[in-house]
């Protein structure tokens, strides 16, 4: 195949979205529609990617910053051919131009590769699809031998032509050298007074260029998004596709309709996901991992034989083998749980290392800390790591027992084998095997009378 240039058309406002956000920046499966298209385009290793922008240009530029993408402005939205014309000066003369759309997020790499395999300096290819409901879409017109002869937009179509169910997806592969001759010849003498890119089919045939079609079997793959209902419909389709992939790889989903994949997920053998699980970012789950209902995992790596109980949230963390987490636990960024660690209900861990066989059982907060092996953190314990300006670390050695309702005021170290009595406020280091108790003396006063509420005045 010749050198590949990609042009993504993303200038539209998206009026039917009823939003101040550009249409191509609305999210599907956790990332902008445009990002889906760009990610797929990058898999094709093009030498040049042109992004035609217009409405919300500054916001769109921000999303693609960091990618090797050149943005070109379409000041007036005068149709697809007009949009492509803005990028034409930046395309390589000897390349094949692949035309994609920023609001068509689910087109697959394999589909585009099949399309591109047929394209050449003397052949353009149109991606087509058979639609259950072709309303609003351009129809493929063929001659008696089945060869494509033109594409007609619905507003310009006759009743007979509107009965055709083979539609134009808009995605095309066209030799750039031919485009340079064809685009200036396209006229706007149609119902919408726009410059249609579809007119290149007739111009190509007039020019002796072959025009082929490449069918796409999945209608949803080439569907565009114009309103919130269509966005929700494609979200469900995407989720079904991803959950089906997980199940085919051996993952048990208690209800595939109630699991959302918003990133990349790699699973070992015998993984189980309960209902209402959300997987975001990069997720790696080892063998025999169980995720309970209503859990959110974001950029996590979880080792073998670990159980995450209901209503837990894990973000940017590493979890070892044989751990138990939750229910109602929150594992925040920077947390690292070693093998066989136990994090109980209503526990929060942030930027801390929890050693092997250590337990933070319930109702505790551990932040900016390092726990050794076989540590027991009693209920209601907190590390006081923040003085309002700076963060400080708490270091706890191996085999330390921290009694319930303890406050560890960082920076502080509790050495291996030490014990801290319940209800203590620890502000100084504790040496190995020491017992630390820091609490006020109890006073019991006889004859104490509780204060009484004063009656309300009329």
How large a percentage of the chain has pLDDT more than 70? 100
36, 55, 82, 362: the catalytic one is 362
The total of other beta-carbon atoms located within 10 Å of residue 275's CB is: 16
**Two tokens, residue 416:** 């291996």
Asked whether the predicted pLDDT for residue 458 surpasses 80, the reply is no
Rounded distance, CA 228 to CA 316, Å? Answer: 31
pLDDT per residue as tens digits for the range 327-347 = 999 999 999 999 999 999 999
Average pLDDT over residues 115-122: 96
Q: Which structural domains are found in the chain, ordered by start?
A: 4-222 (3.90.550.10), 228-436 (2.160.10.10)
Interval 282-301 mean pLDDT = 98
Query: Rounded distance, CA 20 to CA 55, Å?
Result: 10
- pLDDT of 1 > 70? The answer is no
Residue range 115-144: average pLDDT? Answer: 95
DSSP class per residue in 299-355: EEEE-TT-EE-TT-EEEEEEE-TT-EE-SS-EE-TT-EE-TT-EEEET-EEES-EE-
Q: At 220, list the tokens.
A: 């949803």
Predicted pLDDT of residue 175:
97
What b-and-e string marks burial along 188-201, b requiring 16 or more CB atoms within 10 Å of the CB? eebeeebbbbbbbb
**82 is a catalytic site residue:** no
Q: Is the pLDDT of residue 123 over 70?
A: yes
**Of all residues in the chain, what percent carry a pLDDT higher than 90?**
93
Give the count of beta carbons closer than 10 Å to the beta carbon of residue 349.
27
Contacts of 95 (CB under 8 A, 6+ apart): 2, 3, 4, 5, 47, 48, 175, 176
pLDDT digits (tens, 9 = 90+) for 200-217: 999 999 999 999 999 999
pTM of the predicted model, to two decimals?
0.90
Residue 286 exposed, middle or buried by CB count within 10 Å (0-12, 13-18, 19+): buried
**Predicted confidence band of residue 257 (pLDDT cuts 50, 70, 90):** very high
- Render pLDDT for 164-201 as a digit per residue (tens, 0 to 9): 999 999 999 999 999 999 999 999 888 888 899 999 99
Q: Which residues of 138-160 are buried (b: 16+ CB within 10 A; e: fewer)?
A: bbbbeeeeeebebbbbeeebeee
Q: Look at residue 456 in the predicted model and tell me its pLDDT.
A: 83
Dist CA 337 CA 303 (whole Å): 10
Mean pLDDT over 361-380 rounds to 97
Dump pLDDT digits (tens) for 32-66: 999 999 999 999 999 999 999 999 999 999 999 98
Residue with tokens 């918003």: 262
Phi, psi dihedral angles at 357 (to 5 degrees)? 60, 15
């Amino acid at each position: 195949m010749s050198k590949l240039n990609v042009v993504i058309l993303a200038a539209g406002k998206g009026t039917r979205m009823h939003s101040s956000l550009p249409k191509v920046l609305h999210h599907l499966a956790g990332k902008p529609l445009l990002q889906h298209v760009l990610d797929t385009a990058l898999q094709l290793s093009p030498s040049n990617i042109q992004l035609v922008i217009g409405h919300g240009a500054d916001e769109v530029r921000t999303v693609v910053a960091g990618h090797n993408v050149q943005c070109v402005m379409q000041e007036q939205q005068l149709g697809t051919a007009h949009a492509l014309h803005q990028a034409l000066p930046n395309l390589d003369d000897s390349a094949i131009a692949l035309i994609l759309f920023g609001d068509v997020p689910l087109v697959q790499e394999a589909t585009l590769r099949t399309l591109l395999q047929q394209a050449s300096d003397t052949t353009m290819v149109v991606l087509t699809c058979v639609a259950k409901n072709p309303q609003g879409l351009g129809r493929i017109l063929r001659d008696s031998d089945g060869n494509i002869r033109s594409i007609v937009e619905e507003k310009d179509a006759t009743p007979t032509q509107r009965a055709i169910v083979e539609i134009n997806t808009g995605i095309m592969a066209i030799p750039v050298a031919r485009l340079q001759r064809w685009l200036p010849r396209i006229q706007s003498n149609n119902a919408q007074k726009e410059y249609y890119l579809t007119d290149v089919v007739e111009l190509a045939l007039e020019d002796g260029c072959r025009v082929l079609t490449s069918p796409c079997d999945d209608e949803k793959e080439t569907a565009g998004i114009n309103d919130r209902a269509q966005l929700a419909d494609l979200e469900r389709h995407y989720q079904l596709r991803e959950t089906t992939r997980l199940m085919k790889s051996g993952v048990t989903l208690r209800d595939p309709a109630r699991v959302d994949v918003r990133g990349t997920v790699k699973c070992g053998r015998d993984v189980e996901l309960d209902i209402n699980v959300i997987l975001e970012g990069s997720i790696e789950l080892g063998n025999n991992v169980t995720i309970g209902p209503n859990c959110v995992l974001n950029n996590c790596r979880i080792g073998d034989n670990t159980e995450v109980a209901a209503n837990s949230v894990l973000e940017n963390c590493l979890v070892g083998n044989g751990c138990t987490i939750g229910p109602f636990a929150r594992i925040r960024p920077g947390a690292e749980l070693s093998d066989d660690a136990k994090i109980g209900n209503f526990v929060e861990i942030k930027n801390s290392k929890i050693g092997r066989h250590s337990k933070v059982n319930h109702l505790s907060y551990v932040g900016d800390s390092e726990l050794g092996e076989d540590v027991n953190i009693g209920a209601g314990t907190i590390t006081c790591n923040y003085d309002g300006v700076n963060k400080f670390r708490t270091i706890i050695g191996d085999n330390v027992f921290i009694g319930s309702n303890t406050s560890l005021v960082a920076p502080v170290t509790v050495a291996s084998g030490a014990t801290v009595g319940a209800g203590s406020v620890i502000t100084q280091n504790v040496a190995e095997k020491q017992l630390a108790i820091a609490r006020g003396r109890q006073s019991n006063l006889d004859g104490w009378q509780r204060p009484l509420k004063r009656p309300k005045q009329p």
